[in-house]
Amino acid sequence: MASIPLRALGKTNVQVSALGMGGHHLGDAKDEKTAVQLVHDAVDGGITFFDNCWEYHLGKSEEWLGKGLKGRRDKAFLMTKVCTHGRDSGLAMRMLEESLRRLQTDHLDLWQIHGVTFDNDPELFARKGGAAEALTLAKKQGKVRFVGFTGHKDPDIHLKMLQTNYPFDAVQMPLNAFDGTFRSFETKVLPELQRRGIGALGMKPFSGHGEPVMKGVTTPEETLRYAMSLPVATTITGMEKPEVLKQNLAIAQGFQPMSEAEMGALRERCATYGDGRFELYKTSIKYDNPEARMAHGFPVDMQSKETQEMLKATKNDGKPFQE
Amino acid sequence: MRHTRRHFVQGLGVAGAGMLMDTASAQGEIPKRPLGKTGLQVSALGVGGYHIGTTETDDEANRIVAEAIDAGINFFDNAWEYHDGKSETRMGNALKGKRDQVVLMTKVCTHGRKKDVAMRMLEESLKRLQTDHLDIWQVHEVVYDNDPDLIFAKDGAIEALDQAKQQGKVRFVGFTGHKDPAIHLKMLSHNYAFDTVQMPLNCFDASYRSFETQVLPELSKRGIAPLGMKSMSGSGEGVRNGAVTAAEALRYAMSLPVAVTISGMESLEVLHQNLEVARGFQAMNATELTALRNRVRLYATDGRFELFKSTKKYDGALGRELHGFPTPEQLPA
């Protein structure tokens, strides 16, 4: 079995696998047993980068990853994210303790500000008492090794975050062939990260929920290969089923990047959809979690899985939250 | 041909510096302002067509239109796609015998499709509105990043605007959209001779993806008539929340250098509320405008009271369908 290439994470002196396992989809796995097995198989397949977030499935994603990494923690580069959405550093520190407990570890390798998607988020992050202070404090306390931020909305918001000149180690963003020509992180943010030596983390290679693959616009292989061929440390993708993990491992093991010409041809094909229909995280608030919406005074969507989970959590049926 | 009455209005009302000087307000009337270089004078408050379709009964819709005209409103907005034609049909009925008293606008909903679609829609709009011509015909809902390319493509909607003007079926043309000033500027970059341009203008806009700071000055420079909309955030979100009062919100919008502020009035109650502001209208001065902008800035900067910019909520079903987006039911926002 060919191994998954390891790549440098910015200036951190750490190497991570070019394919990373997304935390949101882990919580979508059929059950805990499946999730734990997915994590084991990912580690065995050469994945070292594990993504997660405080707000994914009300903590279920972190709990399941914690269980999956039991006894394997030292083989993983573990990231989770904090969900202040503009709120203060004290809240961030409480979320950190909760994440550490769920993940069954005393430290994170990377802790990122989650969901930097509203135009005023950078301002709220950098304000006095804002979440930036929590990143610094957590690092000082040795609870996190590296810090960063993530968002799926607009490259200009990312650039605004970078303009605060906070010393980020990593920055996460949507990167795929559609992004290449539409409100593009690839053209606006990636070069800036390279200039600054910040580790670039790609996400949403499959547009969030695999929409272009399901509609037959792109194949899974070219979709993932494009994202992994960009100058990023890792490409984080969700794998909630063994088949999906297997498919992605097959592409990542012995990975050969696309040529410039191949990438250009795919970008051009995807540019036909210049209205953002395959990047709904940029063009709608579908991917903005209720936690983020409420902190910003936006309406929540009763149909969304996240809102449903929140409502379910209010029911006292005498059973714990997880089925 | 296009601007035959240009001499009539130059230098009146809409000054480049953004200062607004209405006349006739002292007598308690609704001020009239020049509509760009068209030679037309329009009332500073206009009746929005979408909400005519949400009014509970036909009778109330008729009364809203009649009372509005009696009060001095002469600007009536509409769109081919509002409530599947009900808004146009209702307005057509309500304007029977009063057509010559109003400046009538409707919009064409090609959403990227070709000229022939636009021309068919025009005939339908004229029939529903019971008239042989429109005063203004605008391209509706220019909100997708690639809309300007599609509209200006060969055989695209822009050619329909030309043809309709030549045929005498429309006097003036423009476009509208609620999403992003960058898309408006892309439309303007084609240097097409638009007579009017419609956009959201309210006290939140100035601090968030701002049409006021990015598009209004460009229109002033070109002498294109700006039409304001969404003075109350679209559905009164900012008012309901208590961030502003309805009167403040409308006064702010009407104090900008626009020809008209189009407001949806789905009941006589709302009409009366708006008339209270519009009759004998006194524009806010620069200090008042700045003070209100600053007061609401905290709410403005994440777009929570401009959901038409920050979400899909206000993007119509037809436009979504033609752009391959999920339906409003599947993707509410």
Total domains present in chain A: 1
Structure confidence by residue, pLDDT tens digits, B242-290: 999 999 999 999 999 999 999 999 999 999 999 999 999 999 999 999 9
Structure confidence by residue, pLDDT tens digits, B131-174: 999 999 999 999 999 999 999 999 999 999 999 999 999 999 99
- A–B CB contacts, 8 A cutoff, strictly below: 67
ipTM computed for the complex: 0.86
* pLDDT confidence band for B18 (50 / 70 / 90): low
Q: Which residues of B touch A119 (CB under 8 A)?
A: 208-209, 301-303
Flag whether pLDDT at B65 surpasses 80: yes
Specify the pLDDT at position B187: 98
Specify the pLDDT at position B16: 39
Higher pLDDT, B135 or B298: B135
Q: Identify whether A210 is part of a domain.
A: yes
Q: Identify whether A319 is part of a domain.
A: no
Q: Identify whether A321 is part of a domain.
A: no
Q: Which residues of B touch A (CB under 8 A)?
A: 144-147, 149, 208-209, 241, 299, 301-304, 307, 310-313, 323-326, 331-333
The CATH fold assigned to B6-268+282-322 is: TIM Barrel (3.20.20)
CA of A107, closest CA in chain B: separation in Å?
33
* pLDDT confidence band for B2 (50 / 70 / 90): very low
Specify the pLDDT at position B27: 72
Average pLDDT, chain B: 93
Token pair for residue A239?
């794998």
Flag whether pLDDT at B6 surpasses 60: no
Q: Identify whether A322 is part of a domain.
A: no
CA of B264, closest CA in chain A: separation in Å?
22
Specify the pLDDT at position B8: 36
CA of A284, closest CA in chain B: separation in Å?
5
Q: Which residues of B touch A123 (CB under 8 A)?
A: 301
b/e B6-38 (16+ beta carbons within 10 angstroms → b): eeebeeebbeeeeebebeebeeebbbbbbbbbb
Specify the pLDDT at position A321: 53
Flag whether pLDDT at B5 surpasses 50: no
- Which residues contact residue A319 at a Cβ distance below 8 angstroms, ignoring those fewer than 6 apart? none
The answer to whether A31 contacts chain B (CB < 8 Å) is: no
* Chain A: residue whose CA lies nearest to B298: A120
β-bridge partners, B138 = B107, B174
Contact yes or no for A1/A30 (Cβ under 8 A): no
Candidates A119, A274, A286; nearest CB to B145 = A274
Angle between helices A32-44 and A242-252 (to 10 degrees): 10
- We report the CATH number of the domain holding residue A209 as 3.20.20.100
Amino acid at A60: K
Q: Which residues of A touch B323 (CB under 8 A)?
A: 275, 277
Q: Which residues of A touch B302 (CB under 8 A)?
A: 86, 118-121, 296-298
* Chain A: residue whose CA lies nearest to B149: A274
pTM for the model stands at 0.90
The answer to whether A299 contacts chain B (CB < 8 Å) is: yes
CA-derived radius of gyration, chain A: 18
Contact yes or no for A66/A103 (Cβ under 8 A): yes
Domain extent listing, chain B: 6-268+282-322
Amino acid at B309: K
The answer to whether A127 contacts chain B (CB < 8 Å) is: no
The domain of A100 spans: 6-314
Specify the pLDDT at position A2: 85
CA of A209, closest CA in chain B: separation in Å?
13
Per-residue pLDDT of chain A (323 residues; tens, 9 = 90+): 689 999 999 999 999 999 999 999 999 999 999 999 999 999 999 999 999 999 999 999 999 999 999 999 999 999 999 999 999 999 999 999 999 999 999 999 999 999 999 999 999 999 999 999 999 999 999 999 999 999 999 999 999 999 999 999 999 999 999 999 999 999 999 999 999 999 999 999 999 999 999 999 999 999 999 999 999 999 999 999 999 999 999 999 989 999 999 999 999 999 999 999 999 999 999 999 999 999 999 999 998 989 998 888 777 776 655 54
